[in-house]
Amino acid sequence: MQFALICHDRPGALAERLAVRNLHLSGVVDLKREGRIIEGGAILDAEGNMAGSVVLCDFPDRAALDAYLESEVYVRNKVWETVEVLSVRLVQWEAIEC
């Protein structure tokens, strides 16, 4: 199942985000290699500071996604205040003839 995660940081959490960012990225790299994380990036505020994240991911089911979220560094460190989970079906670009 594919999901889009819209994650908003807790107000004032930029210092905490930056403090654990390397741990977050190292975990994401492993999940990217496994094909679980498809793509992602930071949501920026009006000043250009990181204020959240957008993640496209693929997990066998919602329970597996929830297990990932429980282990996610930004969740454990209360950087992400809210995580909106949307079920999506991403385009399979290699199957489209242009």
pLDDT digits (tens, 9 = 90+) for 8-59: 999 999 999 999 999 999 999 999 999 999 999 999 999 999 999 999 999 9
The answer to whether residue 63 sits within a structural domain is yes
Q: CATH code at 77?
A: 3.30.70.1060
Residues pairing with 76 in the sheet: none
The answer to whether residue 96 sits within a structural domain is no
Q: Hey, what are 78's tokens?
A: 């209360």
The answer to whether residue 39 sits within a structural domain is yes
The answer to whether residue 72 sits within a structural domain is yes
At residue 86, the pLDDT reads 98
pTM value? 0.92
Rounded-to-10 torsion of CA 1, 86, 20, 23? 10
State the total domains in the chain: 1
Find the domain containing 8 and state its range.
2-90
Q: Angle at Cα 95 formed by Cα 91 and Cα 96, nearest 5°?
A: 80
The answer to whether residue 98 sits within a structural domain is no
- The phi, psi pair for 44, rounded to 5°, reads -110, 145
Q: Hey, what are 74's tokens?
A: 């930004």
